[in-house]
Structure 1
Amino acid sequence: MIRYALTRILLLALGLIASSVLIFAALRVLPGDVAQMIAGSDGTAAQVAAIRSDLGLDRSLLAQYGDWIGGVFTGDLGSSLVTGSPVADQLAQKARVTVPLGILSLVIALAIAIPLGIVGAQRRDRAAGAALNVVAQLLAAVPVVWAGLMLIVVFAVGLDWLPAQGFPRAGWRDPIAALRALVLPAVTIGVVEGALLMRLVRSATLSAMGEDFVRTAAAKGLTRNSALVRHGLPAVGLSIITVLGVQIAGIMVGAVVVEQVFSLPGIGRMLVADVGARDLTMVQGELLALTAFVLVTGFVVDLVHHAIDPRLREHA
């Protein structure tokens, strides 16, 4: 297990370094010049050149990358080229919205996928099972933007149960208002991701129902459902754990879109605004933080899966 963990840590470090190179290089080919944007449309060439020099944009790309990645290793993601505010402070502030949104979305997705996926597998030959499968496929194909707008129309505009947009100024000092602001965005992400996960749970449950140990348990007197619950669901749980890393990545991508729809002051909305402002330091810090979160999540999922699955331990 220790050898496996060390190997995964090495791969995680290499993945983060490769991601940082790709992020830095990709941002340098974007059109626009932040120095020109700061100088304004009336800025002269001399003024733009002076701003570029002050911001360090006239240095070689290798030197700029070295300064940035060196700061990352010490916990310094740099400062905004536009406002001068530290990137890490901005990320910490916006994460107070994005992280709870992601957690709530994941809880909703699991609450939808696990019971309905199991029921859909158990009743696969009945009308209810077929209906659940069709609904899951339809919901999985729904664009997140459209789903969010429909929820706003029904629950915010029509029924007036929940706020349509925004986040309370008091933040989590007013937890009820903060949770109310996140309900519709989280349901938007959770329903779509839950539909995708439900299909996996259904497939894993069907596979478990066909295993010899489940059939043997049923032959010894247990009902088919009891045999599945006692002996098949652990295998289903392993399948869910395996894809949690991908599921969380999907939730983070969905958060970028949903925060725009619901005007939430989170990392996703900040990322879109900083891309528009050509604030390279902010954007590369935000992208690296999101990438690191996804990679670390996958790393933890791999370790947990390896620890609880005896088949993997045998081959370690």
Structure 2
Amino acid sequence: MSYPLRRLLVFPLVMLGVSVFVFIAIRLVPGDAITAMLGTESGLLTPAQREALTAYFGLDQNWFVQFWRWLSRVLQGDLGISTTYGKPVMTIILEHFPLTLELAVLSMLIAIGIGLPAGIFAATRKDKPSDMAVRVIAMVGQSTPGFVVGLLLIFVLSVGFGVLPQMGTFVPLTEGISRNLAQMILPALTLGTAFAAAVIRISRSAMLDILREDFVRTARSKGLSRRRVIWRHALPNALIPVVTLSGVEFGYLLGGAVLVEQIFALPGLGRVVLDAIQQRDYALVQGSVLFIAFNFMVVNLLVDLAYAALDPRIRFETK
């Protein structure tokens, strides 16, 4: 347990660094925060009213004072109040994060379900026409931007055949599984197919390396079937690069796939953060990014621990 404990001790330092970075970055965005909050109505404000609003939101203080006040509240579990929604930031995050989490999980299932078998299939047929076909498909998948895939899926499946809805009011999973999946399948396919191409390439490369190892040749010499050698002996060792890539991608997806959520009009966390940046909603941006960073670190810790479960030779021991 020493390794997880050491990693957990690093969490506060990383979170502090992220908080400083996002605090400065959002304030470097050009524009006036009061004008962004009120829009055209800001032109009706008198100088006294503008000064009062600036003081109310604490924007009249220097950056150090603003950061210290915000950090003090964060240490007490308060991420602040969103000026856009008029609600606590944590409440907004918890309202929109389930959609992003579901989208990330569905995308990962699609990517692994397509990419891993395809990568293993290509590796076991190296340099054959089927291997070349899989490699070409993977290259095309990685080269095509996600928003292009999303628009093509909308045009073909929604506009052309009317199989799936293009967009509409989001239905939570708890209120209707079929309606929820009908709304989420296109965004998940958009993200999943792009990531599946990366999984194909990394799993094929890893499997080719493992198939050349001595223990695989030993297993074959014992008379084990080809299927058993591949799935029982080679695959667990080839999964480590796939798990690494999946962990990074899953952490990224938990941050919100902004373009996909924007294309399909999904009220996920990524879209909320994008709107908050445009509205100069400092508290919401800072709190959301801090929440995303924490999730990313947790995912990476779980990935590191999964290495030891996949490969008994790996041990996290103190030196």
Interval containing the TM-score (normalised by the shorter chain): over 0.9
Deviation at 1:169, TM superposition (A): 5.4
Query: Match of 2:195?
Result: 193
Q: Is contact 2:171-2:180 (8 Å) kept?
A: no
Relative to structure 1, the CA distance from residue 5 to residue 48 in structure 2 (aligned partners, 3 Å threshold; closer, same or farther) is same
Alpha-carbon displacement from aligned partner over 1:81-112 (angstroms, at most 9, x marks no partner): 23421111111111131111111111111101
Equivalent residues, number: 315
Report the residue type matching 2:139 in the other structure: Q
The aligned runs of 1:60-209 (5 Å cut-off) are 60-168=62-170, 172-209=174-211
Alignment partners' CA distance in 2, 1:99 and 1:245: 14
Alpha-carbon displacement from aligned partner over 1:195-223 (angstroms, at most 9, x marks no partner): 11111111111111011000111112124
Name the SS of the counterpart of 1:32 in structure 2. Answer: coil
Deviation at 1:22, TM superposition (A): 0.7
Q: Is contact 1:121-1:129 (8 Å) kept?
A: yes
Report the residue type matching 2:165 in the other structure: P
Report the residue type matching 1:79 in the other structure: I
Name the SS of the counterpart of 1:312 in structure 2. Answer: coil
Deviation at 1:170, TM superposition (A): 6.6
Is 1:310 matched up with 2:312? Answer: yes
Q: Is contact 1:105-1:187 (8 Å) kept?
A: yes
Report the residue type matching 1:143 in the other structure: P
Q: TM-score, normalised by structure 1?
A: 0.94
Query: Match of 1:33?
Result: 32
Alignment partners' CA distance in 2, 1:215 and 1:117: 20
The aligned runs of 1:18-29 (5 Å cut-off) are 18-29=17-28
Deviation at 1:250, TM superposition (A): 3.8
List runs of 5+ in structure 2 lacking aligned partners: none
Report the residue type matching 2:124 in the other structure: Q
Relative to structure 1, the CA distance from residue 171 to residue 220 in structure 2 (aligned partners, 3 Å threshold; closer, same or farther) is closer
Name the SS of the counterpart of 1:40 in structure 2. Answer: helix
Alpha-carbon displacement from aligned partner over 1:109-132 (angstroms, at most 9, x marks no partner): 110111001001111221001100
Alpha-carbon displacement from aligned partner over 1:31-61 (angstroms, at most 9, x marks no partner): 1122234361232332211101011111221
Query: Match of 1:56?
Result: 58
Report the residue type matching 1:81 in the other structure: T
Q: Is contact 1:12-1:299 (8 Å) kept?
A: no
Query: Match of 1:5?
Result: 4
Q: Is contact 2:108-2:250 (8 Å) kept?
A: yes
Query: Match of 1:214?
Result: 216
Deviation at 1:281, TM superposition (A): 1.0
Alignment partners' CA distance in 1, 2:227 and 2:127: 15
The aligned runs of 1:41-52 (5 Å cut-off) are 41-52=43-54
Taking only aligned residues, the RMSD between alpha carbons, in angstroms, comes to 1.8
Percentage of identical aligned residues: 37
Alignment partners' CA distance in 2, 1:314 and 1:282: 37
Name the SS of the counterpart of 2:87 in structure 1. Answer: coil
Tell me whether 207-216 or 44-53 shows the greater mean CA deviation.
Answer: 44-53
Alignment partners' CA distance in 1, 2:285 and 2:25: 11
Alignment partners' CA distance in 1, 2:123 and 2:219: 18
Alignment partners' CA distance in 1, 2:280 and 2:17: 22
Alignment partners' CA distance in 1, 2:230 and 2:169: 44
Report the residue type matching 1:14 in the other structure: L
Deviation at 1:267, TM superposition (A): 0.9
Q: TM-score, normalised by structure 2?
A: 0.93
Relative to structure 1, the CA distance from residue 34 to residue 82 in structure 2 (aligned partners, 3 Å threshold; closer, same or farther) is farther
List runs of 5+ in structure 1 lacking aligned partners: none
Q: Is contact 1:77-1:285 (8 Å) kept?
A: yes
